[in-house]
Amino acid sequence: MAQLPLYWLHPGELFVSRQATLVTTILGSCVTVCLFHPLHRAGAMCHCLLPVGDLDRDKQSYRYVDSTLPKMIKALKETGLPLQGMQAKLFGGAIITAKSAPVSETSVRIGPANVEMARNVLKNLGIPLVAECVGGHKGYKLFFNSGTGEVFLSRL
């Protein structure tokens, strides 16, 4: 079996490829959405920090769930992948609080708000959510095989 190229996805980035790649990231309150097309064996992955953001501030920003998911779909279509048959997997959205930092209502709400926004946007785009592992109080290390759609998670 050939070894896959490895790509480290940083917060606020988007990965799109028709070549099988192992994409990895670490999540806390952020969310990752993995899109995969089983027939074409290709996919995309994003790492979003916040549920909503200013769309006009940075056209290349992938920090916000509400604007990133439509950008992912557009990028996949530009590679020739049809929207029909696309599947989504959602991860992250934990409630993370540092022992040294004061807990605020905003810090506790970010993870759940990211998850809620991702679910709503996927529903509005007509993309079925086929798997998710969200919430909790611990982060994840995640690996996504963009050629098979498989996701491997480990709790931090």
Average pLDDT across each block of 10 residues of the chain; the chain has 156 residues. List them in order.
Answer: 88 95 96 96 96 71 93 93 94 80 63 97 97 94 96 93
Q: Give the pLDDT confidence score for residue 67 in this predicted structure.
A: 93
Residue range 6-149, CATH number? 3.30.1330.200
- What confidence score (pLDDT) does residue 40 get? 93
Query: How far is 112 from 105, CA to CA, in rounded Å?
Result: 12
Number of helical H runs and strand E runs in the chain? 2, 9
- Decide: 131 and 89 in contact? Cβ < 8 Å: yes
Per-residue confidence (pLDDT) for residue 61, from 0 to 100: 82
Cβ neighbourhood burial of 143 (10 Å; 0-12, 13-18, 19+): middle
